[in-house]
Amino acid sequence: MFLSGLKGFRDRLAVLALVFSMFAFVGAGAENGKSILLTFTGDCTLGSEDRLQEKSYSFHTYISQYGYGYPFAKTKQLFEQDDLTIVNLENVFYDAETGKAKKTYNFRGPSDYVRILTEGSVEVAFLGNNHILDYGKAGADSTIQALETHGIAWFGTNEGLNSVHIYEKDGIRIGFIGGYASHWIINREDLTASMEELNRAGCNAIVAVMHGGAEYSVMRDKYQQRMASWLARNGADVIIGHHPHVVQGMDIIEDVSVIYSLGNFSFGGNRELRAQYALVARVELRFDEHLVYQGHQINLIPVSPSGTPEINNYQPVILSGQAALKTMALAQRDTAFRLAPYLEGIGALQPFIPAVQTEQSVETDPETRYGAGFQTFRHSGHITK
């Protein structure tokens, strides 16, 4: 059922139950070392097309009526309990209509909409997508300025854009890298340089984001698989995907988990709810007492981009019951191995994936290490084309 259909007390109770389960999740992995907890959402369009901004149903109208805190109000408690929340920002923060690219959809929110992120407990924005250049370089520069002014970190690679983010806590450095698949296909040098930068910085673990795939396709395509394989071979420890707007499945590439698409989150680009189900990924990265990366565990949390199934209200909610099971069924359809099941109030907590530490461990039978049915690929430890 949709949590928005319940009374406010039950809304808060369900989120609190999930939050408390996450404390147990992190504590179990950090007994003899340290742990970093990350939350990833799918596509966030915190704006709309210029022609729709004055409409009664537009994202802009909802923000005018309900304030900056509205879009993430039902998930903020979840976001507050991690080390970082990372969203895919599919719009520019820009106060002009000039420089609009010639394309089907151009998404823009005023620069003050960056406060949606700060009030929603979001710390990082991924910009390596197909909308950061909707209003040319001026729109991209305005977005970056708004983010940096309000303390929101960002990263991503696209045409004219190539930046990483390094998060530090308790002596641990987590590197963030990622890009738009269409750009990666024709220019791998940018991501190669970014990966080398993270290696030089001495990152203990690297998380990659890939933005690619066919929109509204429930199955990953060969280009997503190729990009994921390349990222894994070249140093990524976890790979998170989006762009298709719908839920897709997972792979395990040696010791690297791949989620091909989380789907939409708060998506102001469409009034109609074209995709009703999505995922939030909670990723726990574990390190030993010497800060050596030991592996990771992912919890898949079913969500909907809207609290009302009939029309998009731009306020994502955590799902439960049959709606949560339907969401996981979408992920399972595009996954070659059996995913861990959804449990009410917890999510779908996947098995811990240990890091490959030695050549001997690389040769370990993957079905013994991860369970029968996992799809794995060999991965080397240097930058490859």
How high is the pLDDT of residue 378? 28
Please report, for the domain that includes residue 349, its CATH number.
Answer: 3.60.21
Tell me which amino acid residue 97 is. E
pLDDT of residue 30: 56
| In-domain check, residue 382 | no
Is residue 98 helix, strand or coil? coil
Q: What is the pLDDT of residue 31?
A: 65
Domain that holds residue 67: 3-370
**Residue 57: inside a domain:** yes
Pick the closest to residue 3 from 285, 221, 317 (CA basis): 317
In 253-264, which positions are buried (b, 16+ CB within 10 angstroms) versus exposed (e)? bbbbbbbbbbbb
- Kindly report, residue by residue over 38-86, the tens digit of the pLDDT: 999 999 999 999 999 999 999 999 999 999 999 999 999 999 999 999 9
* Residue 384 falls inside a structural domain: no
Which residue type occupies 65?
A: Q
Inside any domain, residue 309: yes
Q: What angle (nearest 5°) sits at the alpha carbon of residue 173, between those of residues 242 and 297? A: 50
Q: Residue 328: its pLDDT value, please?
A: 98
| pLDDT under 50: residue ranges of the chain | 1-10, 13, 16, 20, 23-24, 26-27, 358-385
Gap between the Cα atoms of 33 and 283, Å rounded: 16
- C-alpha radius of gyration, the chain, whole number: 20
How many residues appear in the chain? 385
Residue 83 lies in a domain: yes
pLDDT reported for residue 32: 75
Q: How many domains does the chain have?
A: 1
| CA angle (226 as vertex; 223, 229 as ends), nearest 5 | 150
What's residue 18's pLDDT? 59
- The answer to the question of residue 328 being in a domain is yes
Average confidence score pLDDT of the chain: 89
Residue 376 forms part of a structural domain: no
Instruction: Evaluate whether residue 381 is within a structural domain.
Output: no
